Chain A
Amino acid sequence: MIESGLGELYEFWGIVVSTLLLGIGRLHGQKSSGNGEADEDALLVERAREGDQYAFDRLIHKYQSRIYQFCYRMLSDPDEAEELTQDVFVKLYRNLKRFRYESKFSTWLFQIAKNLTLNKLKYLKRRHFFANQSLDEPRRTGDGEIRFEVADETCDLEAAYENLELQQLVQTKIAQLRPEHRVALVLRDMEGLRYDEIARILNLAEGTVKSRIHRARLELRDSLEGHI
């Protein structure tokens, strides 16, 4: 109990000190890009590279939800997504020294997430992970199990958007898209990234990114025919 309390106190002061250092760094204009968030990330990376665990923890806390969302939307499985999110941050930690400030930290982090996700998809596909998932079976989600049913065609669109079953159906249809189309669609239409960021993450020209997003939307729209 005492150890736990001391640990929390230690952590608290660590965060305070880290925050102060970040503030001082910002006052001195370290690696200032004129973008507050990017500057803060760059400073956190710099501190984390120097072994500041609290700076690394702040990066985790800042980005774990977004990376998890991305992984979940790519893999459609909450447990696999959590595992992969941890892998992403482990990989990040091991590669902090390689971050060269040429792009936003978040872009680089998504790059790592994208690569690990695509590798994971190949791994799971080889093990027929997705073959066991059927629309007729109840689906496990972060909020428990649900069963798919065809949407009531008479319901209005606003109600349809709120329909959890429809949302899960969309997630399933997204999982059936080709991975290279899926990742572009998820990054744009679900994560809301800019085209230039996506182009950087996927290492593609912006035109190619747009084309992939368009193809993915058309395919998804076809697969959802009758549901929306």
Chain B
Amino acid sequence: MDCRTVREIFFEQLDDPAASRPALAAHLQRCAGCRREWEAYRQTVKLLGRIPAPALSRDLSDGIHQRLSATTPLRELLRPLHAGILAAAGLAVILLLVALPLPGEGLVSVWPRAFVDRDADVTVLADPSSDVFSLVTWKPVASRKELLAELGADRLESWPKQAGELDAWPALLLVPVEGAGGLPDAAETAFLMAMARSLFQADGNRVMVGDAETGAEDGVRLYGLAY
């Protein structure tokens, strides 16, 4: 067993010191360098466990309630839209508007980050109210009833009044933007993009994928899909 291999099993040794690892023991017996490394590794972990927890200077419940009463979900949604992101979002919107039909031609903005083409066969939306990153559905739905059954009524609660128009939407793809579930990682983003393209481009549709932060296409952060 060489030194590199030995150091790779420090983790297991620390996790389960009772397990028999004769090769490791023999190596540590004869290799002073690995003995020092092992000791330092062990002490580092021990030190981490001994660092006292930082104490809260005050009870945060009042502040939390103040925030809850001061912000509506809509304000909460818009709060991160500081100047930089506004600029980036503006750029993204311009990119979309350049690439897509103008509103007068059927594209209707129903939310800062979502677009609906009423005349299209398939509607693709970013879900502005989502807080959990997971692909909710891309199943085509024929009616609002089907949509509600697919999503669960609570998901539509914070949608704008346009939710009433869902009856006219033949299909829906909800792509959460960011929130409690976090941003999609690169693999998830790649999967979503590939899936969206294969689903919709196959029918001759264009698929736009924007990055909410940079406005760049194919960015890590999905901000919406439109075709």
Residues of A that sit less than 8 Å from B by CB: 57, 60-61, 64-65, 68-69, 72-73, 78, 81-82, 85-87, 89-95, 97-98, 111-112, 114-116, 118-119, 141-142, 157, 160-162, 166-167, 170-171, 185, 189-190, 192, 210, 213-214, 217-218, 220-221, 224-225, 228
In the bound complex, what is the Cα–Cα distance between A167 and B183 (angstroms)? Answer: 32
**Does A90 contact B48, Cβ atoms closer than 8 Å?**
no
| Residue in A73, A115, A167 whose beta carbon sits within 8 Å of that of B180 in the complex | A115
Chain A: CB-nearest residue to B43: A228
**Does B54 contact A214, Cβ atoms closer than 8 Å?**
no
| Residue in A90, A118, A167, A189 whose beta carbon sits within 8 Å of that of B182 in the complex | A118
Chain A residues within 8 Å of B53, by CB: 65, 69
B60 contacts A by Cβ under 8 Å: yes
Interchain Cβ contacts under 8 Å between A and B, 23 examples: A57-B61, A64-B59, A65-B53, A69-B54, A78-B54, A82-B56, A82-B60, A85-B56, A86-B64, A91-B131, A91-B179, A93-B68, A94-B131, A98-B131, A118-B183, A161-B47, A170-B47, A190-B49, A217-B44, A218-B7, A221-B40, A224-B40, A224-B47
Chain B residues within 8 Å of A94, by CB: 73, 76, 131
**Does A86 contact B67, Cβ atoms closer than 8 Å?**
yes
B20 contacts A by Cβ under 8 Å: no
Chain B residues within 8 Å of A97, by CB: 154
Chain A: CB-nearest residue to B48: A189
B10 contacts A by Cβ under 8 Å: yes
B161 contacts A by Cβ under 8 Å: no
B191 contacts A by Cβ under 8 Å: no
**Does A224 contact B54, Cβ atoms closer than 8 Å?**
no
In the bound complex, what is the Cα–Cα distance between A55 and B160 (angstroms)? Answer: 30
B41 contacts A by Cβ under 8 Å: yes
**Does A112 contact B180, Cβ atoms closer than 8 Å?**
yes
Interface centre among A82, A162, A218 (most CB of B within 10 A): A218
In the bound complex, what is the Cα–Cα distance between A217 and B12 (angstroms)? Answer: 13
Known: A61-B61, A95-B131, A214-B10. A115 touches B56 (CB 8 A): no
Known: A115-B182, A161-B46, A190-B49. A228 touches B40 (CB 8 A): yes
- Shortest A56–chain B CB gap in Å is 9
**Does B68 contact A90, Cβ atoms closer than 8 Å?**
yes
B63 contacts A by Cβ under 8 Å: yes
Within 8 A of A (CB), among B72-87: 73, 76
Chain A residues within 8 Å of B132, by CB: 95, 98
Chain B: CB-nearest residue to A215: B11
- Shortest A175–chain B CB gap in Å is 13
Residues of B that sit less than 8 Å from A by CB: 7-8, 10-11, 37, 40-41, 43-61, 63-64, 67-68, 71, 73, 76, 131-132, 154, 178-183
Chain B residues within 8 Å of A93, by CB: 64, 68
Known: A91-B131, A221-B40, A221-B44. A142 touches B55 (CB 8 A): yes
Chain A residues within 8 Å of B47, by CB: 160-161, 166, 170, 224, 228
Chain B residues within 8 Å of A85, by CB: 56, 60
Sample of 18 more A-B contacts, CB < 8 Å, known A119-B182, A190-B51, A228-B44? A60-B61, A64-B60, A72-B54, A78-B54, A90-B67, A90-B71, A98-B131, A98-B154, A157-B43, A161-B50, A167-B51, A170-B47, A170-B51, A171-B51, A189-B48, A214-B10, A221-B37, A228-B47
| Residue in A60, A69, A116 whose beta carbon sits within 8 Å of that of B60 in the complex | A60
Chain B residues within 8 Å of A189, by CB: 45, 48-49
Interface centre among B41, B51, B63, B178 (most CB of A within 10 A): B51
Interface centre among B44, B49, B76, B179 (most CB of A within 10 A): B44
Chain B residues within 8 Å of A190, by CB: 48-49, 51
Interface centre among B61, B179, B180, B182 (most CB of A within 10 A): B180
Chain A residues within 8 Å of B7, by CB: 218
In the bound complex, what is the Cα–Cα distance between A78 and B53 (angstroms)? Answer: 12
Chain B: CB-nearest residue to A76: B54
- Shortest B22–chain A CB gap in Å is 22
Chain A residues within 8 Å of B41, by CB: 217-218, 221
Chain B residues within 8 Å of A69, by CB: 53-54
